[in-house]
Structure 1
């Protein structure tokens, strides 16, 4: 019972602070009344029930899946190679650490110049943001593998391909899933600002549109939905990770 009461109490406290903050701001700026909990909840209900928001949601989720798939396709092989080859790790680690510290959003102008407007630059930004936790966690998993597993594979005349797919990847799945979970959180944070440039649909575009239309209650409703969807994605990632550990 306590595990249910405490989260609800935390949400209730946040709701009260939100309402109090909106009421205080309304005294100085009457337009702030649209940011209050009740107008925002009403706008969210209308948007969800009316279906105007769902096309933006599906498109944003599609971009997240594509960006995550690209990050996995790039990060896992590079992580395995980094963990298995000391020379490759020594030659690439400074570069990877340098690129990892560059904000993905700083690439937005270059991405649009090279890839044009549309989904392509968004995919690039999401993949760039998500690849690093996957790559680093994969490399860390390879480094922590029991060396006896690799020696056993060699003694059985396993090929390089067989060693990777039958020994290394099954042994580091937990680390890959941890990296994927971290990547999902990063992608979801980068998604909204990435969709504010050069696209005509998506949650980021919808938030900008509500600002331009001065529909502030809808803006807050979109922010609430972004938080709820992000929480749901993280919950799915945590569940997959927990099930793998149990298995």
Structure 2
């Protein structure tokens, strides 16, 4: 009897989750449909206005027609590969620097008080304003762009890590020490599991900032990447190629963000979910 009740309960829960998933998908498709409709209507008015006819290729249909052409020429793949390398390198550098410093800020009060003001000051400087200095310091444009991405992305990771560690119950550390745990064990068995949710949330914010900085950083100096592809399309008046690359940036960025959202949900157990 109890087994039958449990099975019925599990079945009801599964049906509820499927219903919610279908409902969420429906809302997402509806939102995209509205956006596409507005784009289509805007393209129609642009095409039928003598003063804006030059920009007719910004419309939805010319943009969709440009995707097979760009893919066939390998431009999308090459741009994604170049930008992906720069984004991944910069984000990895931000994580390697941001997480350890964030842990120190969360655990050591005097270090947090000592570093908070200078870190906040540097954080408020626009990442792109570092470009002239980056060009002088680094021998290659790749190095300059990776530096710009890392200096933009390090702050969300660092402060999210520090904030997450500050919320950890101090009794956890006392219990661990009383049980004979060494500092490395405390780091790997107490700190990292406790702050994984916050670190991933910080990385998600960092990814958004890095993705935004990446494209304008690629406008200058380099001959590859998404930013270069947009600038090249603008200079050659290939407006359908330009909008196709803009859409590609949106799609890839949304995909990357979705991966991190899934990881955050996976490691949100200690938040009561």
Distance 1:87 1:246, change over 3 A: closer
Please say if residues 75 and 134 of structure 1, whose CA atoms lie closer than 8 Å, have aligned partners that are also in contact: yes
Offset, 1:22: 2.5
1:137 match = 160
Offset, 1:6: 2.2
1:238 match = 261
1:30 match = 53
2:243 match = 220
1:106 match = 129
Q: Aligned partners of 1:208, 1:170: CA distance in 2, in Å?
A: 43
1:18 match = 39
2:189 match = 166
SS at match of 2:159: helix
Larger Rg: 2
1:9 match = 30
**Normalised by the size of structure 2, how large is the TM-score?**
0.86
Structure 1, residues 185-205: CA drift from partner, whole Å, max 9, x if none?
Answer: 111111101111221110001
**Normalised by the size of structure 1, how large is the TM-score?**
0.95
Q: For 2:205, which of 165, 182, 198 is the aligned residue? A: 182
Offset, 1:143: 0.4
The answer for unaligned runs of 5 or more in structure 2 is: 1-21
1:120 match = 143
Structure 1, residues 24-75: CA drift from partner, whole Å, max 9, x if none?
Answer: 3341221111100000000012212442321111111111111111000000
Please say if residues 105 and 190 of structure 1, whose CA atoms lie closer than 8 Å, have aligned partners that are also in contact: yes
Alignment size in residue pairs: 247
SS at match of 1:167: helix
Offset, 1:110: 1.1
Structure 1, residues 98-135: CA drift from partner, whole Å, max 9, x if none?
Answer: 11111111111111111134210111011111111110
Which segment drifts farther, 22-31 or 211-220? 22-31
Q: For 1:67, which of 90, 110, 129 is the aligned residue? A: 90
Q: Which runs of 4+ in 1 moved over 6 A?
A: none
Q: For 1:54, which of 68, 77, 80 is the aligned residue? A: 77
Q: Aligned partners of 1:9, 1:171: CA distance in 2, in Å?
A: 38
Q: Aligned partners of 2:72, 2:25: CA distance in 1, in Å?
A: 28
Q: Aligned partners of 2:215, 2:154: CA distance in 1, in Å?
A: 18
SS at match of 1:172: helix
Q: Aligned partners of 1:6, 1:172: CA distance in 2, in Å?
A: 32
Q: Aligned partners of 1:87, 1:192: CA distance in 2, in Å?
A: 38
Q: Aligned partners of 2:229, 2:82: CA distance in 1, in Å?
A: 11
Which segment drifts farther, 1-10 or 28-37? 1-10
Offset, 1:231: 0.5
